[in-house]
């Protein structure tokens, strides 16, 4: 006989323990890489660089503000290891809409990188909206990550 509206309790398969993200091996960036992008006349300048500690972020931002004086926003994210080996993750939106700091941090996590990424935006007069801003910051950050990665050899086709 079939009953409707009654939940049956089946034993659930135990899910594996979640991996401690803090102890996963990350890839340290060994050299800075830059990438620039223009979206609707706004210019985005991305820098992916090694970072020794979260305290070094202030000096990096000061240098970026000096290099890009016309930029209104310098959004950033960083992932570094502390003395105990745990990963410290920080990000800032610098007043920009769409949480681009969080978007940049997700890029670092997705690529398992231990580094800092800063994207400076010089406003071009056209409002991009929340989604447009997030996409532009993500694309600029991904461009800097791609510029830092060694290019794999082209795949050979097997001609038979």
Mapped to the 3 state alphabet, what secondary structure does the chain carry? Answer: CCCCCCCCCCCCCCCCCCCCHHHCCCEECCCCEEEEEEECCEEEEEEEECCCCHHHHHHHHHHHHHHCCCCCEEEEEEEEECCCCCEEEEEECCCCCCCHHHHHHHHHHHCCEECEEEEEEECCCCCCHHHHHHHHHHHHHHHHHHHHCCCCCCCCCCCC
Q: Is residue 44 included in any domain, yes or no?
A: yes
Q: From CA 68, how far away is CA 63, in angstroms rounded?
A: 9
Domain count, the chain: 1
Higher pLDDT, 151 or 72: 72
Higher pLDDT, 132 or 26: 132
Q: Is residue 18 included in any domain, yes or no?
A: no
CATH number of the domain where residue 143 is located: 3.30.230.30
Q: Is residue 4 included in any domain, yes or no?
A: no
> Which pLDDT does position 152 carry in this prediction?
53
Q: Is residue 96 included in any domain, yes or no?
A: yes
What integer is the mean pLDDT of 33-44? 95
> Which pLDDT does position 28 carry in this prediction?
84
Number of residues that make up the chain: 160
The interaxial angle of helices 129-148 and 100-110, nearest 10 deg, is: 30
> Which pLDDT does position 22 carry in this prediction?
42
Higher pLDDT, 139 or 158: 139
Contact (CB, 8 A) for 71 and 45: yes
Query: Which residue range(s) make up the domain with 38?
Result: 24-148
> Which pLDDT does position 154 carry in this prediction?
54
Q: Is residue 39 included in any domain, yes or no?
A: yes
> Which pLDDT does position 114 carry in this prediction?
93
Q: Is residue 158 included in any domain, yes or no?
A: no
- pLDDT tens per residue, range 73-132: 999 999 999 888 899 999 999 999 989 999 999 999 999 999 999 999 999 989 999 999
Q: Is residue 157 included in any domain, yes or no?
A: no
CB-CB neighbours of 16 under 10 Å: 6
Higher pLDDT, 138 or 151: 138
Q: Is residue 2 included in any domain, yes or no?
A: no
- pLDDT tens per residue, range 6-22: 333 333 333 333 233 44
């Amino acid at each position: 006989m079939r009953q409707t509206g009654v939940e049956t309790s089946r034993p659930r398969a135990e899910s594996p323990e979640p991996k401690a993200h803090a102890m996963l091996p990350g890839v340290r960036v060994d050299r800075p890489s830059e990438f620039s992008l223009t979206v609707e006349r706004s210019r985005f300048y991305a820098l992916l660089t090694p970072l020794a500690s979260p305290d070094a972020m202030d000096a990096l931002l000061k240098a970026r503000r000096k290099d890009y004086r016309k930029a209104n926003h310098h959004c950033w994210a960083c992932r570094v290891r502390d003395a105990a080996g745990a990963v410290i993750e920080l990000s800032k939106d610098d007043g920009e809409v769409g949480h681009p700091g969080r978007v940049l941090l997700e890029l670092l996590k997705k690529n398992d990188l231990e580094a800092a990424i800063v994207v400076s935006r010089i406003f071009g007069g056209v409002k991009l909206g929340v989604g447009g801003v997030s996409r532009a910051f993500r694309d600029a950050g991904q461009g800097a990550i791609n510029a830092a990665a060694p290019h794999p050899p082209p795949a050979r086709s097997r001609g038979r």
